[in-house]
Amino acid sequence: MTRYMVLADDCWVTAVYGPGDGIGFTTKKEDASTWVTYERAVEAAKIVAARTNGPVAVHSVEEPNYPKSWQ
């Protein structure tokens, strides 16, 4: 299943809590959050770009289909 990650400069985004509420970052790609749709990832990227004033990119990643009991 394709999901989307946000990269800000050299850090991956772990969470976007909303405009003005904070953003989490990590240097480890495996710890980054993913978004279900490209559009949602772009919205998160816009918030990150506005707060960091640095380069921001959306990347696609293939994740397995986890069992519903894990969600």
Query: Regarding predicted confidence, which is higher, 58 or 66?
Result: 58
> Of 58, 28, 55, 30, which is closest to residue 44 (Cα–Cα)?
58
Tell whether the model's pLDDT for residue 61 goes beyond 90: yes
The structure's pTM equals 0.83
φ, ψ at 36 (rounded to 5°) = -70, -35
The whole-angstrom separation of Cα 67 and Cα 46 is 31
- How do residues 5-57 score in pLDDT, each as one tens digit? 999 999 999 999 866 678 999 999 999 999 999 999 999 999 999 989 899 99
Contacts of 63 (CB under 8 A, 6+ apart): 1, 2, 3, 34
Cβ 51 vs Cβ 17: under 8 Å:
no
